């Protein structure tokens, strides 16, 4: 069993794996899914046992941070058995962090169980605090259910980070509302530029695009922003608001390329490994996984994939068309 660390062609150690456990979701956010989604056949999805085998192989090869995504990960039937399985790697110290990104709808049900297996923080996707706008953006979501889920996470001792997609004409007028709410409730806050993924159409993407450079200028009208050097292992760059002490993150795949320090890869719920979110190249890990009861073939396939990890992506909104647009939905790759 080869446990040498995963190093890509640009001498970056791969220590962060994002795993989509389902393409299904109980919301239909306008920038993520079409309203009438055709989901993958269940037979195409990796079983929870197969996800355990794959993730455990990555942990053996040096992955120290595991983020579980979807779709909505907490709608996957039996998902807590998978979290419990990953919790054993926290107990050995091989895994430093087990976390998830969620829409918050199921947190009231699962927050205490997640804390019990070693999850210490969660990212909750929440773009607006206006119930009517929330219903419009998510199509199927109910804001009170999500806010209750966030409250349950806090009660369970989980740290909550709010991820808000910056949407022109949707939540521009809520910038300070979101910042003030997070300051009051003790949540970190990260803003994300909308990404050219899925079949939403080029025109809609450009209509939705609110540059975080412009958002930051707005923030500076009220706050003193202090740039922080810290990185969380993800693509966010952080500032501290001098007046409140809170931390604000910016994820800018479009107006600022963040690839030079990329230490992560993404595994889909069907066993495809994407070495870069902004490239179509991927490696099929499901076939070698199912071809053998041991993990030798799988580990070879993982190493071969990492040897193809590109230096960066091609997303670009600088012209009046979306360059580098991806055909797959965000719910398939896992955010």
Confirm if 158 and 120 have CB atoms less than 8 A apart: yes
Give the residue ranges of the annotated binding site for S-adenosyl-L-methionine: 31, 71, 125, 195
Q: Report residue 123: phi and psi, to 5°.
A: -100, 130
What is the distance between the alpha carbons of residues 318 and 275, in angstroms, rounded to a whole number? 24
- Across the beta sheet with 121-125, what order do the strands follow? 225-227, 237-241, 247-251, 188-193, 159-166, 121-125, 97-102, 65-69, 16-20, 264-267, 272-274, 282-284
What is the distance between the alpha carbons of residues 329 and 130, in angstroms, rounded to a whole number? 26
Q: Is the peptide bond before 25 cis (omega within 30 degrees of 0)?
A: no
| Contact partners, residue 16, CB within 8 Å, separation at least 6 | 63, 64, 65, 67, 233, 234, 263, 264, 265
Scanning the structure block, which residue is given the tokens 């947190």? 107
Give the residue ranges of the annotated binding site for GTP: 18, 67, 101, 161, 264-266
Give the residue ranges of the annotated binding site for [4Fe-4S] cluster: 25, 29, 32, 259, 262, 276
Cα within 13 Å of Cα(18), Cβ side? 25
Integer CA distances (angstroms), 182 to 49, 56, 176, in order: 37, 35, 10
Give the residue ranges of the annotated binding site: 18, 25, 29, 31-32, 67, 71, 101, 125, 161, 195, 259, 262, 264-266, 276
Confirm if 160 and 189 have CB atoms less than 8 A apart: no
Q: Report residue 18: phi and psi, to 5°.
A: -105, 130
What is the distance between the alpha carbons of residues 23 and 40, in angstroms, rounded to a whole number? 7
Pairing of strands 159-166, 188-193: parallel
What is the distance between the alpha carbons of residues 84 and 315, in angstroms, rounded to a whole number? 36
| Contact partners, residue 220, CB within 8 Å, separation at least 6 | none
């Amino acid at each position: 069993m080869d446990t040498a660390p995963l190093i890509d062609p640009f001498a970056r150690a791969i220590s962060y794996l994002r795993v989509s456990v389902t393409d299904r979701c109980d919301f239909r956010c306008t920038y993520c899914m079409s309203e009438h989604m055709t989901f993958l056949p269940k037979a195409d999805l990796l079983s929870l046992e197969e996800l355990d085998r794959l993730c455990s192989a990555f942990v053996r090869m040096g992955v120290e941070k595991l983020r579980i995504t979807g779709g909505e990960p907490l709608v996957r039937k039996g998902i807590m058995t998978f979290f419990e399985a990953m919790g054993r790697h926290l107990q050995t110290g091989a895994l430093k962090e087990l976390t998830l990104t969620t829409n918050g709808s199921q947190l009231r049900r699962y927050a205490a169980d997640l804390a019990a297996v070693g999850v210490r923080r969660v990212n909750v996707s929440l773009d607006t605090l206006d119930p009517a706008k929330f219903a419009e953006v998510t199509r199927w979501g109910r804001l009170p259910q999500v806010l209750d889920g966030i409250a349950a996470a806090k009660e369970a001792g989980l740290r909550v980070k709010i991820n808000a997609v910056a949407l022109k004409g949707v939540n521009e007028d809520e910038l300070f509302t979101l910042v003030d709410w997070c300051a009051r409730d003790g949540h970190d806050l990260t803003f994300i530029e909308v990404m050219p993924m899925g079949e939403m159409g080029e025109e809609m993407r450009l209509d939705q695009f609110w540059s975080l450079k412009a958002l930051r200028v707005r923030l500076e009208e009220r706050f003193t922003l202090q740039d922080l050097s810290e990185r969380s292992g993800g693509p966010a760059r952080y500032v501290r608001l001098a007046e409140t002490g809170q931390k604000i993150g910016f994820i800018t795949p479009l107006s600022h390329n963040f690839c030079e320090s990329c230490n992560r890869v993404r595994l889909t719920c069907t066993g495809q490994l994407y070495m870069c979110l902004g490239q179509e190249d991927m490696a099929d890990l499901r076939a070698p996984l199912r071809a053998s009861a041991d993990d030798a073939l799988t580990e070879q396939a993982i190493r071969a994939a990492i040897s193809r990890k590109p230096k960066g992506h091609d997303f670009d909104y600088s012209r009046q068309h979306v360059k580098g647009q991806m055909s797959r939905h965000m719910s398939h790759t896992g955010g």
